[in-house]
Amino acid sequence: MREEVKRILQMVKDGKLSPEDAAELIDAFEAGSAVDAGTTTKTTEPEAEQASTTTESTGDKDPFKSFVEALEKISKEASGSVNWQEVGKHVQEGARKGVEALKTGIDQVAKGKVAFPWGSIQETREVTLPLTIAAGKTLKVDNACGDIKIVGGFEKGSATARARFRGTPEDAKVKADAYTLIIEESEHMVLIRQPDVVGISVDVEIQMPGKGPVEVRSTSGNVQVMDTGAGLRVDGVSGNITIKGLNGPVEISATSGNIQIEDVTTPSMALENKAGNVILKKIKGNINARTSAGNVALEDCAGKTVSIESVSGDVSVDISEPVNGTVNLRTVSGNAKVAMDSGDCRVSLSTLRGAVNCDLQLQDEARTAQRVTGKLGDGTGTLDVSAVTGNVSVALRDHQA
């Protein structure tokens, strides 16, 4: 059972199956048609054999339909003896035959031989609308399912939506024919959103007229924002986030996916990622980044204040200017590595279950295997790096290995 779920998820990763279809398939695979848990009648061997024969005789019939029919037949003949919540462990021989039919179906879907009888993509529609944004207004994009790409700096703006509709052929066609992207304008904002339609997935691509601040809300899909030249706020649940060419405050909150940001000047950058890596390149400004499960890497970055926290993952920081502000790096399970130019700061490096390696020439130095303290210059700033289970290392950038 667990192996089949992995195969379903791999199909999603390969682009052969949407996340919504995968969820429905896993539900059908693991739960089936729930029956009364209080019934305990036992299925006889002839009954199981009869169900097995029914399943095996389906021939070229749709394997998913065969699977459902087999389970329905077994549940009737077993008078409620099958607990579908435990199908992976306790299902009887007849039910296992039904599962084998589903395995065959999964293989055929993976090979592109059959489509899902429920919720498959039946219709597509592409819509392009002109887009104007007055100076001082924020562009906000709200897209629950699908990728979002926003590129700034165009003379004329446009918003393109590539929508996909799931359902029966008739229902999907009706939805596709009626679909249009919604653009609403208020005093301070231009909002781009989707109509309230079930079973829709939309990729949105926006050519932004000029430059300006952007807000994005996404439930499932990748987000790209490039060359908008102002501030950005992203609230994402699942998907990678890629940012480049901004000048303004940046705030990003994500649940699952990698965050990659490059070439940004900002008074403040606040990033929170529950599961995924954070990669920052050529960032000038104050940085505050947190991740629960993932690595954090800064390359060619500079800011008066840099605060990095990782619960499970390595932290690697390349600071391009002398440290004379506050740099705090924390990791619970992982290594912490700093490459820096000389600075004017107090230095504190420590680990509970690892080793500390410091190549800096410190004044007032105190050194043990797991802790090093001292200062650079007058010690007006702070460099504080710590790990619980991991090594800590600090070196000048020219000496970085």
pLDDT tens for each residue of the chain, 401 residues long: 456 666 666 666 665 566 666 666 666 555 543 433 444 444 444 444 444 444 444 444 444 445 444 444 544 444 344 443 443 444 344 445 555 555 555 555 555 444 444 445 679 999 999 999 999 999 999 999 999 999 999 999 999 999 999 888 888 999 999 999 999 999 999 999 999 988 899 999 999 999 999 999 999 999 999 999 999 999 999 999 999 999 999 999 999 999 999 999 999 999 999 999 999 999 999 999 999 999 999 999 999 999 999 999 999 999 999 999 999 999 999 999 999 988 899 999 999 999 999 999 999 999 999 999 999 999 999 999 999 999 999 998 874 44
What was the pLDDT predicted at 137? Answer: 97
- Chain centroid to CA 85: how far? 29
Would you call 375 exposed, middle or buried from its count of C-beta atoms within 10 A (0-12, 13-18, 19+)? buried
Type of residue found at 49:
E
pTM of the full structure: 0.71
Task: Report residue 316 as tokens.
Answer: 């690697």
Main-chain dihedrals φ then ψ at residue 176, nearest 5 degrees? -65, -45
Give the contacts of 261 (CB within 8 A, at least 6 positions apart). 242, 243, 244, 250, 269, 271, 279, 280, 281, 283
Residue bearing tokens 């990678």: 240
Type of residue found at 289:
A
Task: Report residue 264 as tokens.
Answer: 């940004």
Q: What digits encode the pLDDT tens for the residues 300-331?
A: 999 999 999 999 999 999 999 999 999 999 99
Query: Coil, strand or helix: which one is 7?
Result: helix
Give the contacts of 155 (CB within 8 A, at least 6 positions apart). 209
Query: Coil, strand or helix: which one is 80?
Result: coil
Pairing of strands 345-351, 363-367: unpaired
Task: Report residue 62 as tokens.
Answer: 């749709």
Distance CA 40, CA 57 (A): 29
What was the pLDDT predicted at 199? Answer: 87
Q: What digits encode the pLDDT tens for the residues 101-159?
A: 555 555 555 554 444 444 456 799 999 999 999 999 999 999 999 999 999 999 999 99
User: CA neighbours within 13 Å on the CB side: how many for 60?
Assistant: 1
Q: Would you give the DSSP letter of residue 86? A: G
Would you call 162 exposed, middle or buried from its count of C-beta atoms within 10 A (0-12, 13-18, 19+)? middle
Residue 315 near residue 391, CB atoms below 8 Å: no
Catalogue the E-assigned strands of 276-362.
Answer: 278-293, 296-301, 305-312, 315-319, 326-333, 336-340, 345-351, 356-358
Helices marked H in 314-369 — which ranges? none
What was the pLDDT predicted at 95? Answer: 45
Type of residue found at 201:
S
What was the pLDDT predicted at 58? Answer: 43
